[in-house]
Amino acid sequence: MSSASSPLRIASVNVNGVRAAFRNGMGPWLAEREVDILALQEVRAETSHLTELLGDEWDILHDAATAKGRAGVALASRRSSDRHRGAEIHRVELGAVDFDSAGRWLEADYRVGDKIVTVVSTYVHSGEVGTPKQVEKYKFLDAMQERLPQLEAHSKYALVLGDLNVGHRTLDIKNWKGNVKKAGFLPEERAYFDRFIGAEGDPDYNNGAGLGWVDVGRKWAGEVEGPYSWWSNRGQAFDNDTGWRIDYHLASPALAATVVNYTIDRAPSYDKRWSDHAPVVVDYAI
User: CA-CA distance, 61 to 123, in Å (whole number)?
Assistant: 15
Active-site residue, from 123, 157, 192, 228: 123
- How far is Cα of residue 185 from the mean position of the Cα atoms in its chain? 17
**What 3-state class would DSSP assign to 123?**
strand
Amino acid at 180: V
163 is catalytic: yes
Amino acid at 98: D
59 is catalytic: no
Amino acid at 221: A
Confirm or deny that 165 is annotated as ligand binding. Answer: yes
Confirm or deny that 42 is annotated as ligand binding. Answer: yes
Q: Are 127 and 133 in contact (CB under 8 A)?
A: yes
User: CA-CA distance, 188 to 280, in Å (whole number)?
Assistant: 25
Active-site residue, from 228, 277, 283, 284: 277
Residues near 178 by Cβ (< 8 Å), separated by ≥ 6?
none
Q: Are 172 and 226 in contact (CB under 8 A)?
A: yes
Amino acid at 131: T
Secondary structure element (H or E) that encloses residue 74, with its range:
strand 73-78
Confirm or deny that 128 is annotated as ligand binding. Answer: no
277 is catalytic: yes
Confirm or deny that 62 is annotated as ligand binding. Answer: no
Secondary structure element (H or E) that encloses residue 160, with its range:
strand 157-163
Confirm or deny that 24 is annotated as ligand binding. Answer: no
| Ordered alpha helix ranges (H), the chain | 18-23, 26-33, 47-54, 132-154, 187-197, 216-221, 253-256
Active-site residue, from 163, 172, 247, 283: 163
Residue stretches of the annotated binding site = 14, 42, 163, 165, 276-277
Residue stretches of the annotated binding site for Mg(2+) = 14, 42, 163, 165, 276-277
Catalytic residue annotation: 123, 163, 277
